[in-house]
Amino acid sequence: MKSSFKPSFPKTPKAPAAPPKLDNTLAQGKTSTGSQPVSKPTAPAKTTGPDKTPQGDSFKKPGANAEASSSSSRPNINAHDLQGPQVQAPKLSESEVQDLAMGRTPGKGRPATVRPEIQKVAEEMKAEVPGSEILRFTDQGGHPMLKKPGLPSGTDAGVCSAMTSEWIRTGIEAGGDPKKGSQAFGKLNDNHFGSFIDKQHAESLQGDAIKHQNNANLSKLAGIDSKLEKLRETQAQRNGLTEKLTDPDLSPKERQALKQQRAELTQDLKQGMAEVKEESASVAAKQAELEKHTHAFRKERGGGNDGVHVQDYEPIQSDFPHKLHAATQQDGHYRVGLRKDGDSAEGHVIGLHKTDGKSRLMDANTAEWQTNSHKDLVNLTAEHIERLYPNYSAFDVTRYG
């Protein structure tokens, strides 16, 4: 069982002390200054089950503490008096129709309503990392488009991969300028969320196709190994016959029979080796083709940019902040992949943009963030892992741009 942890990088001090947050089951110890931490009040009992991210990961729902807003008196207005000349409705584009369906102003767009539980956990993380700023909420799990029935394959667990890919693309196309990159991504998130669904679906189909072809190629390779094993047995039999033919006491009839058997085995070996050579060439060619497809697939995951796999999957343990800090030293955009145990286990993706100044984080389940430093970026990522993804066991890192 993976032990919980706190980000181990010292945090920038904040002016007034943040109010204590609800106990989130982390092991209590001394703070980075050596003082004992303030005890945290116990969370009130919940009467309803926890909400979940699209990947099925739970987070606590805030208590009902919102004050009821009082309704203001409104003057009676005659709707007939507001009617002007009747004109033909303009022809709307598909995206504008989509905006209207989502309750947005065509061409301008407004983000979908953020769930209270997401706002709560985001504010708690913001308090833990002084200087961090929420640029915009993403909250894919609360988006109406992902709640509709009949979603295309590959989108039932959310569109985090597509959102991260587009976030990286818009950031790189903005020349690495955090503000411009954030603005470009915001237009997509607010106006064209459906494009994330389409992209996630296409990525899923492409990934499944590569996986299917790779499995088929591995099966052929296993067949070649099986044939080679039989050929080795045949070679051993042939060697045994050659050894018997050295016996001077063999009769002419026995010698002839042994030679005939050896000739048949020799023919089997020649035919078998020819088949293995041909099949091996076919497997090698298919493997080269798959490598090209895989490269294109990974490039598309980086918004059409070539990437460098900085770190293969490593366990998420107490040293996670140090590993992530070491893997994200260079300026650029990063794709941090998370996965649970098992070959077909669920996964999640978080995007990072590291610069010498302001840095950014984008988690499709919470928000797009800005931090003052690389250290704060790492600490904010660790807060996400701790609070939302405690059941994920490994992570990898790819750099783009």
- 8 A C-beta contact, residue 172 and residue 305: yes
197, two tokens: 């669904």
Spatial distance between the Cα atoms of 5 and 24, rounded to a whole number of angstroms: 11
DSSP annotation of 32 reads T
Spatial distance between the Cα atoms of 350 and 364, rounded to a whole number of angstroms: 7
Q: What confidence tier does 95 reach under pLDDT thresholds 50, 70, 90?
A: low
Higher pLDDT, 91 or 323: 323
Model pLDDT, residue 206: 96
pTM assigned to the model: 0.70
Q: How many CB atoms lie within 10 A of CB 97?
A: 12
- 8 A C-beta contact, residue 135 and residue 369: yes
Three-class secondary structure of residue 323 per DSSP: helix
- 8 A C-beta contact, residue 132 and residue 101: no
Model pLDDT, residue 35: 40
The percentage of the chain sitting over the pLDDT mark of 70, rounded to a whole number, equals 72
Three-class secondary structure of residue 370 per DSSP: strand
Work out the average pLDDT over 359-383: 97
119, two tokens: 């706002």
H or E, element range at 286 = helix 252-301
DSSP annotation of 138 reads -
Q: Is the pLDDT of residue 250 over 80?
A: yes
- 8 A C-beta contact, residue 396 and residue 312: yes
Model pLDDT, residue 113: 86
Q: Which residues pair with 314 in a beta bridge?
A: 395
Q: Which residues pair with 134 in a beta bridge?
A: 369
Q: How many CB atoms lie within 10 A of CB 254?
A: 13
> pLDDT tens across 236-249, in order?
999 999 999 999 99
CATH annotation of 105-191+302-400: 3.90.70
Distances from the Cα of 61 to the Cα of 202, 307, 338, 394, angstroms: 33, 37, 23, 26
Distances from the Cα of 191 to the Cα of 23, 109, 194, angstroms: 37, 5, 9
Model pLDDT, residue 58: 56
The owner of tokens 């296409």 is 202
Q: What confidence tier does 29 reach under pLDDT thresholds 50, 70, 90?
A: very low
Model pLDDT, residue 51: 58
Provide the mean pLDDT of the chain: 81
Phi, psi for 398 (deg, rounded to 5): -125, 135
When mean pLDDT is compared across 64-73, 128-137, 206-215, the lowest value belongs to 64-73
Three-class secondary structure of residue 352 per DSSP: strand
